[in-house]
Amino acid sequence: MDAPDLAAARRERSALLRPRTAGERLIVGLDLPDLESAERMVAELGEVVGFYKIGMELVFAGGLALVERLVGEGKRVFLDMKLLDIDNTVAGGIAGIGRLGATLTTVHAYPKAMRAAASARGGAGLGLLAVTVLTSMDDGDLSEAGYVGTAAELVRRRAAQAKEAGMDGIVCSPLEAEAMRALLGQDMLIVTPGVRPSGADRGDQKRVMTPTDALKAGGDYLVVARPVVKAPNPRRVAEALVEEIEAAS
């Protein structure tokens, strides 16, 4: 696809993939060990939450069935698979995810993998996000893994490659969101995990911000998992997050 056609297709998908309401900018991560726990959490959160992330922990516990169920109930689903494999395998994975009805999925930001994913999507409405640098990693972790440079530098390079490959957005920490918005423009989504309410435990996240700060930095969607699903009253925490998002939007 030529560059003008690529940009036009991205703009069209961007309009469909953006949050439909301020409250929908919150994506609750169902980082739970089994399907039953996830179903109970969805029931408890009720109408407060309209968008859920399902990652590999829940997928390996039967979570793919929940994708179709949530979609059938009018919810949006971010199937966070972080695909990285040979081109043919990535392409096959993307085709399968598209058939499930997920709104978003992730591919590690390696150029060949991203190009394979973009080609395999075809006319499906599935949004493709490039995972730049995991929010649990800092400069020291990258150095240990053999990368040269800082996390911010690697995020920038991979974000530029994602745009060139035809991806619809990126996943990055809120600390990089402002710079990435300037780099990518308004037509690409920025999804930010590593969001923690003020005073919440960071857990294994190292590059974090509060919801208000992440939105001001340019994030379109905020992914929050443990602060909600591990809370004594998850619905109350989710309601407070939605209120904060609506005030900051």
Q: What is the pLDDT of residues 122-145, one digit of tens each?
A: 776 899 999 998 878 889 999 999
pLDDT at position 1 is 60
Residue 134 has which token pair? 């995991």
pLDDT category, 208, cuts 50, 70, 90? low
DSSP 16-36: HHS-SSSGGGEEEE---SSHH
| Mean pLDDT across the chain | 90
pLDDT at position 3 is 67
pLDDT at position 204 is 46
Residues 6+ apart with CB under 8 A from 31: 53, 55, 57, 58, 225, 226, 229
Is 82 a known active-site residue? yes
Lowest mean pLDDT among 13-22, 165-174, 231-240: 13-22
Q: What is the pTM of this model?
A: 0.90
State yes or no: pLDDT of 2 exceeds 90: no
What are the φ/ψ torsions at residue 160 (nearest 5 degrees)? -65, -40
Residue 1 has which token pair? 């696809």
pLDDT in tens, 23-63: 889 999 999 999 999 999 999 999 999 999 999 999 999 99
Lowest mean pLDDT among 78-82, 101-105, 192-196: 192-196
User: What gap in Å lies between CA 130 and CA 152, rounded to an integer?
Assistant: 15
Work out the angle between the directed axes of helices 151-165 and 111-121 (0-180°, nearest 10): 30
- The rounded Cα 53 to chain-centroid distance in angstroms is 8
Residue 114 has which token pair? 């991203």
pLDDT category, 109, cuts 50, 70, 90? very high
Lowest mean pLDDT among 60-64, 138-142, 203-207, 238-242: 203-207
- Residue 230 is given by DSSP the state T
Q: Which of 128, 138, 36, 145 is nearest to 90 (CA)?
A: 128
State yes or no: pLDDT of 87 exceeds 70: yes
Long-range CB contacts (< 8 A, 24+ apart) of 33-38? 33/57, 33/58, 33/61, 34/58, 34/61, 34/62, 35/61, 35/62, 35/63, 35/65, 35/66, 38/63, 38/66
pLDDT at position 137 is 86
All structural domains of the chain: 3-248 (3.20.20.70)
pLDDT at position 249 is 77
Q: Which residues pair with 169 in a beta bridge?
A: 129, 189
Which of 75, 82, 216, 230 is an active site residue?
82
State yes or no: pLDDT of 158 exceeds 60: yes
pLDDT at position 205 is 46
pLDDT at position 232 is 96
State yes or no: pLDDT of 203 exceeds 70: no
pLDDT at position 176 is 87
User: What gap in Å lies between CA 87 and CA 30, rounded to an integer?
Assistant: 28
User: What gap in Å lies between CA 224 and CA 209, rounded to an integer?
Assistant: 11
Please give the residue that has the higher pLDDT: either 4 or 246: 246
User: What gap in Å lies between CA 50 and CA 25, rounded to an integer?
Assistant: 9
